[in-house]
Amino acid sequence: PITAGELLCLGSSVAFSGLFYYLYRRKARVAARIQEAPKLQVDDDLPALVSAADGKCLSYVALEGVVLPAKATLSSHYHEEMQGVIQKLLLKEHRLIWNSLARSW
């Protein structure tokens, strides 16, 4: 005989498994799109390519090219021949949301 508690546990387990599988598949599709991204070179043709794209935006592209560090390059502690730079990116989104508790935007 199966009790109601066991059925509840089984149902919630199946529901959570389905939810996590759905999230896994969605992230796997995004990862596959990133891996299949076209590789573009940073050169004089890049601005024309971006302006010709839909919405003047390229989604999921890999840019290859030479960058210059602002101050000094970073060296790897494990591989002396590897060097890198840090790109500083700041994205600030301004939007208004109505807060019904405080009655303000």
- Domain residue extents for the chain: 4-84
Question: Token pair for residue 63?
Answer: 């840019």
pTM of the prediction?
A: 0.46
Give the tens place of pLDDT for each residue, 88-104: 666 666 677 777 887 77
Start-to-end Cα distance in the chain: 56
Give the tens place of pLDDT for each residue, 14-65: 999 999 999 999 999 988 988 888 888 888 888 898 888 888 888 778 888 8
Q: Which of 62, 33, 69 is nearest to 46 (CA)?
A: 62
CB 36 within 8 Å of CB 61: no
